Structure 1
Amino acid sequence: MPRERREQQILDLATAEFGDRGYAHASLADIATAAGVSKPLIYTYFGSRDGLYTACVRRAGDSLVEAVARAQAVPGAQDRALATLTGIFHALDSRTQNWRIIYDTTLPRPSAAYDQAHAYQRALNTMGSEGVADILGDASTPEDHSLLLSWWFGIVSTTIAWWRDHPGDTPADMADRCLRVFTALRQPPAAADPVQR
């Protein structure tokens, strides 16, 4: 197998392992076994455990940041929010572990892997913060902004976790599901029928 294809295979398997178990608990031996290579070959290709994780994060982060950045051109804060989710779903199609490796809380500090993941977090969070500011408008307080940004991050993370448990849904399915849920949340509750006496 050519080196480039072998590296991509190792990155696929490493992303799944790191995504499932986190940096601290992932096994390079298991990654090597699944790839049908030796651990020394992984070190030859990536230099270290940290180098392998950094390569996984870079691949995941590039596609996510690019997808979210494209969505920022959509006019209207609410349409932009849905476009952002849709972009994230397409970037994570069949790779929901990518979100987990970017936001892995077990990454050692300082390390190249942490620095790389943190750079992507900052880029994604900055775009999220700008979107939240557009939704809230000028009348909001910094605390309002902080709360809504936390909600937004929680919604995105929870939705991705739900999708991971429902892998049969396509990115389009997920976007449609989110649109239905958002629409239902925005509608006033139906008035109860008066009780007949």
Structure 2
Amino acid sequence: MSQILDVAGSVFSRHGFHSTSMEQIAEGAGVTKPLLYRYFGSKDALYLATITQVGNHLMSGLTLLMANPNPKERLKLIMLSFLTFVERHREGWSVLYNEALTSVGPVGEKVAFFRNSFIEASAKTIEELNDPSKAKSSDKAGIQAVALANIMVGAVEAGARWWIQHPEIPIRDMQKMIETSLMPGLSER
């Protein structure tokens, strides 16, 4: 099943959802089209399953990162985790953040869930970074942390889009560029 979803992700990333046929995916996966329909029921359901698998890859390390007690280090690791996902799953990144990001319905909801999980983890970390007692100092501080987390995630996504076009840039250099531009504005509020 995972192999079929990998192939589907590859085909969707090259052709987009609307231009991809179940026949292309079946051929790439070495299965029959009826078998795809038996497993998934429709191209929409296959796309949703593909998005779910890609999103699970993205989220796989986030829970472990949140256990890091140092908020500054954790924030850097969240950014690195995102970049590592892009580096290892370029086609999955393309599916998740190019076409699916603007989707509505179940696919849009699934993409929003994955993206919001990163935003929530980042907001919690930013709030802890700015309040060492780890207690919410005010509603304003919480709102500010969420706003900054949205800015951070958006900037990392934009950086990742640029980075895909410049694969000669090592991941650590890209991480450093993002950290240098973002970290001063995320702490000491």
What value does the CA root-mean-square deviation take over the aligned residues? 3.1
2:60 is aligned to: 66
Segments of 5+ residues of structure 1 without an aligned counterpart are 1-6, 188-197
CA shift, 1:20, in A, is 4.6
1:72-111 matches, cutoff 5 A: 72-103=66-97, 104-109=100-105, 111=106
Q: TM-score, normalised by structure 2?
A: 0.71
Paired with 1:127 and 1:186, the residues of 2 have a C-alpha distance of 16
Segments of 5+ residues of structure 2 without an aligned counterpart are 132-136, 185-189
2:134 is aligned to: none
User: What is the SS of the residue equivalent to 1:166?
Assistant: coil
1:152 is aligned to: 152
Q: Does 1:10 align with 2:12?
A: no
Aligned length: 176
2:39 is aligned to: 45
Q: Is the Cα contact below 8 Å between 2:119 and 2:146 reproduced in 1?
A: no
Paired with 1:26 and 1:78, the residues of 2 have a C-alpha distance of 42
CA shift, 1:52, in A, is 1.2
Which is greater in Rg? 1
Q: Is the Cα contact below 8 Å between 2:119 and 2:150 reproduced in 1?
A: no
Taking a change above 3 Å as real, the CA distance of residues 94 and 106 of structure 1, as seen in their structure-2 partners, is same
Q: TM-score, normalised by structure 1?
A: 0.69
The one-letter amino acid paired with 1:58 is: T
Taking a change above 3 Å as real, the CA distance of residues 38 and 145 of structure 1, as seen in their structure-2 partners, is same
Specify which of 179, 182, 190 is matched with residue 179 of structure 2.
Answer: 182
Paired with 1:153 and 1:105, the residues of 2 have a C-alpha distance of 14
1 or 2, which has the higher helix percentage? 2
Q: Is the Cα contact below 8 Å between 2:84 and 2:171 reproduced in 1?
A: no
